[in-house]
Amino acid sequence: MIDLHCHSTASDGSCTPTELILMAKQSGLKALALTDHDNTNGLPEFELTAKKENFEAILGIELACKVPDQLRCHIVGLFIDRQCRQLQEMLTQIVQWRNQRNVQILERLAEVGKPLSLEFVKSFCPGKVLGRPHIAEALVARGHCQSRKEAFEQLIGRGCPAYVPRQAPAPQQCIEGIQAAGGLAIWAHPFSNSGLNTRNCKKIAMQLKEAGLDGIEAYYSMHKPSQTKAALKIAAELGLLVSGGSDFHGRQFPTLKLGVGCGKLKVPAEILPPLRQKALERRQALSI
């Protein structure tokens, strides 16, 4: 088995890139992709540890974008060149948007009597990409909430008093940034938007393919068997590659385990060679 979607302390995960490699190897996985949100800061350590451990590490990233009807979707990039200038310029813009949003969230929290300083929130962020999960941890530490779940449900989640909509690039911009870095653009967890049925997923997949999408994350921790089957069918009908991963974060989502998700996830290693080959062809075409 393999796992092509996980997060480290470089974004909102609780395990370091080194710990992820060691866990993957101990679990018997054949390959692991690190796909932190909006940054590549964990990839040098991830790559170095993998070489020391003789383990296949795939350098990746996860980007959020907006599609029509205000639906948010995530694009995972696999086999990226982390030093690509076009990709890094886009990431700089995304992080600036993130930072602006964080300040606005803290301002709204203060307005409802739940003040937090930015410096205090930063103490819960080992990496450089601060986001709502770190704000939730700070709210719990200050005694404003009993749990991170409560923080999201009552204060900083969608529709709550301190919620601030996220600025995000268009799908084509995300896809182009990933592909400029020699990577593959994969639509992550396609059924994660509540209310999306197979017909709507296929419609969005078609729109994303027009923007250059390479594949779909059909195997995913929270997918029902029927959703995995539907995603595989969509990929086959549209000529898209298939990917899969646990979306492991560590203690933020303790029920999700690396490689196996909620316990039944099995991402077959057989999907990796076509992904690897497509990425090789792209990198050769770009002379990367």
pLDDT of residue 172: 95
| Average pLDDT of the residues in 262-275 | 96
What confidence tens digit (pLDDT) does each residue in 275-287 have?
A: 999 999 999 999 8
Mean pLDDT of the chain: 94
How would you write the chain as a 3-class SS string?
Answer: CCECCECCCCCCCCCCHHHHHHHHHHHCCCEEEECCECCCCCHHHHHHHHHHHCCEEEEEEEEEEEEHHHEEEEEEEECCCCCCHHHHHHHHHHHHHHHHHHHHHHHHHHHCCCCCCHHHHHCCCCCCCCCHHHHHHHHHHCCCCCCHHHHHHHHHCCCCCCCCCCCCCCHHHHHHHHHHCCCEEEEECCCCCCCCCHHHHHHHHHHHHHCCCCEEEEEECCCCHHHHHHHHHHHHHHCCEEEEECCECCCCCCCCECCCECCCCCCCHHHHHHHHHHHHHHHHHHCC
pLDDT of residue 69: 63
pLDDT of residue 207: 93
Q: What is the third-level CATH fold of 17-82+170-286?
A: TIM Barrel (3.20.20)
Share of residues in the chain with pLDDT > 70 (%): 98
Q: Kindly indicate the confidence band of residue 72, based on its pLDDT and cuts at 50, 70 and 90.
A: confident
Whether residue 55 is predicted with pLDDT greater than 60 in this model: the reply is yes
Q: Kindly indicate the confidence band of residue 126, based on its pLDDT and cuts at 50, 70 and 90.
A: confident
Alpha-carbon gap, residue 142 to 10, rounded angstroms: 23
Alpha-carbon gap, residue 19 to 158, rounded angstroms: 32
Two tokens, residue 266: 């099995």
| Average pLDDT of the residues in 166-182 | 95
Q: How many C-beta atoms lie closer than 10 Å to residue 83's C-beta?
A: 11
| Average pLDDT of the residues in 133-139 | 94
Length reported for the chain: 288
pTM of the predicted model over 0.75? yes
pLDDT of residue 132: 93
For the chain, the domains span 17-82+170-286, 92-156
Q: What is the third-level CATH fold of 92-156?
A: DNA polymerase; domain 1 (1.10.150)
